[in-house]
Chains A and B, each alone.
Chain A
């Protein structure tokens, strides 16, 4: 096999070494990965708002809503009617 620059199409061992401590991304189907990310985010939010929460400064009327969409930009613009339906459902 002729190869002018040997190893250029292979990974070097120091490159493989540099992967130590790599963080595994959440696994599963896209919706369940989304839920895992939401949990992480909510934990961070709880942590960041510790004091206002303890002092009761976050009113009970506040609601946190996560909406999963695979392609939010496209689905939002092309599917306004379903958002209207959801708003109506929330008002009801």
Chain B
């Protein structure tokens, strides 16, 4: 980290001493801090008292050094740059590093270092590139994928990664008794859903088959052209089932195989240290098939939860990269240190859900009026200010080449007209609605802005109510709300990750909205032979979603974070994945000064 960034808040320090004064000070042979000079002089007064005084002088020198007269010690980051150790502020303590148990983003950051799936990700745009599979064939009907595994892919215990390993991993993932939360990610495979729900118990009927040690065949329900992107989600990563067995039953959640002493993985790094709420360290794995390409020797993940705390640690040269920059600091970094702050697009959308099961929101005209009266540009640029894009439909633009064309424009006149048609001219007689959000400052500011827009544009009053997180989630799930905030972050880079949410009865629909045509279009999309046809169907489906307005899209996410300039091979990607295999640290002179 460069030295001037240290002074971001505290103004000046010794570096700002005018040159002439600094030169005068060098006449004393050593450049001395004023405090140190005082102490040394004070000790000098007693110069003739011999032994005791010599000790006093030494003590004074130590005290002066402590008072900050000397150059600051090298930072952790500069050490990391030299030794290729990446210090990563990871936002939260990982629940576990078992890819079949966890669900979060901090876990994702660690698991992608520890495991590798059939395919891997290109560091620039995350498109699937060969991983454990060196190549694959797709059948004519696009329903059968045959993966040819590379012969030199190894687990960290030296065993070969075989096709059987993958089959056994997927069997574990789908075992009803393991209750893997992301099991549904595998439902594209023939009979996977039936097995996971316990409707069939014979795993050989599920569409995974190891033809030989290095050939894996996967049979899909329908030609899913997003299948390869899906494989980069950690639920598709292989796990060492034989190692897990040794640590306990494979289908139980308390299994300790992910402790550093038992851990076996197949990724570019291995787990060597894990202390809860303190630090997790992964070290370059010599058994990884492409280990020659891996430049980083270690990555240390610090589970620092507060964004402010992360920013302080970054500024003090303790972290190379942080999870997210605090909103309050973004402007100042943009002005003073644009080289440190990165604002990447992020595949997520912030929306308001409308509960369509109760009047007046059961009336489509009311929902549309509300949506058309929310000034997204003002929210993105004045309330948020971290590079978010105003949202007019659910799927963010350019998601794997898909940009939805339908949009509900902001049009206050039309909104008023709709409200009049619905029986509330100029907002008269409109029932008092409640807008709910979970207790977080940034949600409140957005809610207040929206409240004012509705008051000003439609003359309707909306009450704001904040709730503690789990209470909030419970009320959303029980449809015990009228308007509620929600955010959706994609699991994989494909519009399917978004549009599937509003299928009738889907776990995250939670608006009570249901549309037969929408469901039909999405079911047809799942069978579409290629992306073009699939995307066309999504366009039609999303046009329905926009028209019916069970949700008000507010903005598409961005990811604002701080990154040390010494980190190379780190590109802006849509889901905050930065394949560590390509990351390297380049020592910079200013880092050493700091």
Determine if chain A interacts with chain B.
no
**A→B interface (CB under 8 Å):** none
**B→A interface (CB under 8 Å):** none
